[in-house]
A and B are shown apart, each in its own frame.
Chain A
Amino acid sequence: MIKRLLVANRGEIALRIIRACRELEIETVAVFSDADRLAPHVVAADRAAHLGGALPAESYLHVERLLEAARAHGADAVHPGYGFLSERAHFARACDARGLLFVGPPAAAIERMGSKIGARRIMEQAGVPVVPGEVPADQTNAAITAAIARIGFPALIKPSAGGGGIGMTIVRDAGDVAEAIGRARREAEAAFGDGTLYVERLVERPRHVEIQIFADRHGHVVHLFERECSIQRRHQKMIEESPCPVLTPAVRTRMGEAAVAAGRASGYVNAGTVEFLLEGEGDEARFYFLEMNTRLQVEHPVTECVTGTDLVRAQLLVAAGEPLPWTQDALAQRGHAIECRIYAEDPAREFLPQAGRLLLYREPQGPGIRVDAGVREGADVPVFYDPLLAKLIVWAESRDAAIARAREALAQYLVLGIRTNVAFLRAVLAHDRFRRAAVDTAFLDESRAALLDAMETHLPDASLAAAAFHDEHLTATASAAEPAPPVDPFDALRGWVAP
């Protein structure tokens, strides 16, 4: 088993990993930059190593300094978390070379899945559906028309040499094909000097649905069902849930089998996610491989909530050579989980990232409420890193109950000093299309104006009274011989901010 693990990350995911390690009696080494000297993950770990400057390149992305910290502190394993170096094959390889156990897939699997074209080829060979497409060897109109007929309508014709959407033409029925080919070819020749055309099936209004997989070193590969991640803004996810409300049991089974096949074909070990585009609903819904994420995902807690598993614990066990703690037959989904990502950003100003001091920070509590946070009241949120402050995950018996629970928990989530997306998240959860689960990956961008309008902004007079009273109360408690509330002695420890 692992004795001492270096957590090569920061924020909420570093804390998540540290907690799992403590439960397994693994000692932890946190790493930190100049901006994170007393950050929550540093305080929580058994040991801490300074990496360097605040910029990621000088700290959390600096491979040599991470490896040196691992050596200096006698670590025998490294967990990369997500982001930063988690999907860099060279980092996994460097850990191997120094005799450090990398808690993640083998470097070769990261490499194979990191190439979009290579990954697509592996998936095709494994029988995993990919968006149908080809460059017809015969580029005559008749052959291209035949290729489009094979892949189906609507289709996309685009220059093989191209990019950036130039010369892309959508064809919706056979009657339009001849004209569209002509136009695409002329534009391709004009723009790239090469009229070779590529044809691809157009996936319209897709949902983003991903399957969690897990593999051990003993040949077992299982899936832990799906996560629906269509609520995203410029490819940044904001709300994830499981189960996907529109997936039928038949499609769920087929997607799970495809994801397991993808894991086997890529020689995968440890936790991974196979992302799919889902088109249509019911048993006829089609899904296409998008990409594979060779790491733990931000949204892994929704899977943990509905399957009753601990994915980080399993990662550590599997990395240490143990078999998977569950068989496929033992895994099932129960209830409904929703994750809301709490970002330091201002929805009213183009979601501009925010930084500064968390003057007041109180998390919601109650049954079925989990908060994975990387921040602390009184501490600064630095400008240098991802604006994710925390994740609110709720679990309830049904989707409707989970939505109500999430909305109520967000109303109790108090973050003052930095603008956040909390009110915006509440507006999304209340939106009719979200409630009906009638969303796709374009929903958030299309509905942004309506969601901003729907954000609750009414300030009751009572809040102005409290704002005015605040000084009076602070003055009174600071000068009075007999202190007014708070009376809890531990409250006296609050408000101390490290220099």
Chain B
Amino acid sequence: MTIRTLTVTAETRSAVARLEPDGVVHIDDRTFRVVALSRGLYRVSDEQGHWIVAVAGPRDARWVGVDGVVAELDVTSGADRPPRRRRAAAGDLTAPMPATVIRVAVAPGDTVSAGAVLIVLEAMKMELAIHAPRDGVVDAVHCQVGQLVQPGVPLLDLV
């Protein structure tokens, strides 16, 4: 009596969730019963015990908290396990958090070496430099000084 099949992906693992009526949820071969306690708060139980789990956020940025552990997950339709969730790495040319651009050190056409400072951001009184992950040529700059940039959005293209 599965009404929906979803895949839940964390940084370290991925699992198929099969939902049945009345809050019955199968995670791989385990069966849980889930009851909503209040907004975002669930009691999850099986024969081994029970857990209080907090949940919030849309499917592609779903946060869970349980017993002091917090994680960000992806929830996708179907049983296809996507590659493990990847967090933005140090080499990505994106802002790691909402931040203000305080310096753009390069212009399109510039040749840069690995490690060179490309852009300097400021957030919460801290400066953060975005470095070139490799040697290359700046193809385009997508931000300017003073601009507020959001995480995950490319700041600059390097070819």
Residues of A within 8 A of B (CB): 344, 349, 352-356, 359-360, 362, 383-387, 410-417, 419-420, 422-423, 426, 456-473, 477, 484-486, 488, 491, 494-495
Contact = CB atoms under 8 A, between A and B. Distances in A.
Given A383-B99, A459-B71, A469-B42, A486 B124 contact: no
The interface centre, meaning the residue of A354, A459, A466 with most chain B CB atoms within 10 A of its CB, is A466
Given A383-B123, A416-B54, A467 B70 contact: no
Given A354-B97, A468-B8, A472-B19, A416 B57 contact: yes
Contacts of A387: 124
Contacts of B27: 461-462, 464-465, 468
A415 B70 contact: yes
B63 A464 contact: no
B79 to A, nearest CB: 12
A465 B62 contact: no
A466 B41 CA distance: 9
A499 B34 CA distance: 33
B59 A417 contact: no
In the complex, which of the residues B17, B57, B59, B68 has the most CB atoms of chain A within 10 Å of its own CB atom? B68
Contacts of B39: 486, 491, 494-495
Nearest to B9: A464
Contacts of A460: 51, 66-67
| B45, B53, B66 interface centre (most CB from chain A within 10 Å) | B53
User: Which 3 residue pairs across A and B have the least CB separation, nearest first?
Assistant: A468-B17, A359-B56, A353-B124
Question: Which secondary structure characterizes the binding site on chain A?
Answer: mixed
A439 B68 CA distance: 24
Given A383-B123, A423-B69, A426-B68, A360 B17 contact: no
Given A360-B56, A467-B8, A472-B19, A457 B34 contact: no
B77 to A, nearest CB: 10
A353 B123 contact: yes
Give the contact-size bracket for chain B.
Answer: 35 or more
B64 A416 contact: yes
A471 B67 contact: no
Given A353-B125, A422-B68, A466-B64, 19 more contacts: A352-B96, A352-B128, A359-B40, A359-B57, A411-B67, A414-B65, A415-B65, A426-B68, A460-B51, A462-B27, A462-B45, A464-B15, A465-B53, A467-B17, A467-B55, A468-B19, A471-B6, A473-B34, A473-B42
Contacts of A356: 97-98
B17 A422 contact: no
A405 to B, nearest CB: 14
Given A360-B65, A423-B69, A466 B34 contact: yes
Given A354-B97, A355-B124, A459 B69 contact: yes
Contact of B36 (A349, A463, A484): A484
27 contacts: A352-B97, A352-B126, A383-B148, A384-B100, A384-B124, A385-B124, A411-B67, A414-B65, A416-B64, A419-B70, A420-B70, A456-B67, A457-B12, A457-B69, A459-B12, A459-B66, A460-B66, A462-B50, A462-B51, A464-B10, A464-B15, A465-B44, A467-B53, A467-B55, A469-B23, A469-B25, A470-B62
